[in-house]
């Protein structure tokens, strides 16, 4: 199902952003600055979008 693949990609990106924010390398942390995590409400809206 293509929606599940998109949710998997969103989850992977959220994990990468979280790890970058918690990292020891200042350059990596700076790269994650300003990035937003896709939350449950947004994922619910994506799921509710008609195809």
For residue range 1-51, what is the model confidence (pLDDT) as tens digits?
688 999 999 999 999 999 999 999 999 999 999 999 999 999 999 989 886
What is the per-residue pLDDT for 3?
87
**Per the structure block, which two tokens stand in for 27?**
């350059």
| Residue entry with tokens 């008609």 | 50
**Per the structure block, which two tokens stand in for 41?**
């409400």
What is the per-residue pLDDT for 50?
82
Q: Please tell me the number of Cα atoms within 13 Å of 22 on its side-chain side.
A: 6
User: What's this model's pTM, rounded to 2 decimal places?
Assistant: 0.83
Nearest to 18 by CA among 36, 5, 6, 4: 36
- Tell me how far apart the alpha carbons of residues 23 and 33 are, in angstroms, rounded to a whole number: 12
């Amino acid at each position: 199902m293509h929606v599940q693949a998109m949710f998997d990609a969103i989850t992977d990106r959220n994990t990468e952003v979280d790890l970058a924010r918690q990292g020891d390398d200042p350059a990596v942390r700076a790269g994650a600055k300003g990035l937003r995590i896709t939350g449950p409400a947004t994922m619910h809206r994506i799921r509710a979008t008609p195809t």
